[in-house]
Amino acid sequence: MQVIYLNDKTEFEPLVLHKLKNQNQYGTSYRLENKLQLVTTEYSTEYYVTKGEQGKMFLCLDSNSQIGVALTKIRNGLKTQGHSFKPEKDKIYIKLTDAQATDLPRDMRMLVSVNVFGIFVQNSTQQSFLQLAVSAFKTIPLIDFDAIKNDNAVFHSLF
């Protein structure tokens, strides 16, 4: 597995794919020769968890986030190998386990690590889909109350 700490200059070498032995009737699955572990280095505050079809949980991030930009670069590299992807949207959805979805707090600053492990090519459309999942995350409070210790601000209780 190759761990990649993302930044503005992150580039990806051409990915080597291997067709899996066991396939299903809906398409062809490939694994990456070297799985990628993409780790953000900038905090994201614009995220939420949503439940998709069949009850699967997903982390939703903006496409212009560090992870979104990295996934776009990966897709562009795969396009040069003959893969076709759906047009990108404003949001990206990354699979989460139920435990991760439960443990991920809202309204925080978040760093995330995403495991990119394969590609699925759908038979009916010949569209390719990256196979990826959240492997870890770290959150810190959105507001740092320690930063205001020497501030003259006055807080009033509503109760």
- Euclidean distance between CA atoms 115 and 1, whole angstroms: 9
Largest pairwise CA distance in the chain: 66
- Euclidean distance between CA atoms 25 and 91, whole angstroms: 29
- The pLDDT, as a whole number, for residue 22 is 86
Q: What does pTM read for this prediction?
A: 0.85
- Structural domain includes residue 159: no
- Structural domain includes residue 128: yes
- DSSP element (H, E) containing 75: helix 66-79
Range of the domain at 76: 2-148
Q: What is the mean pLDDT of each run of 10 residues along the chain (159 residues)?
A: 93 91 89 95 94 93 95 94 92 95 92 96 93 95 70 56
- The pLDDT, as a whole number, for residue 155 is 55
Domain count, the chain: 1
- Structural domain includes residue 64: yes
- Structural domain includes residue 71: yes
Task: Please tell me what DSSP assigns to residue 142.
Answer: S
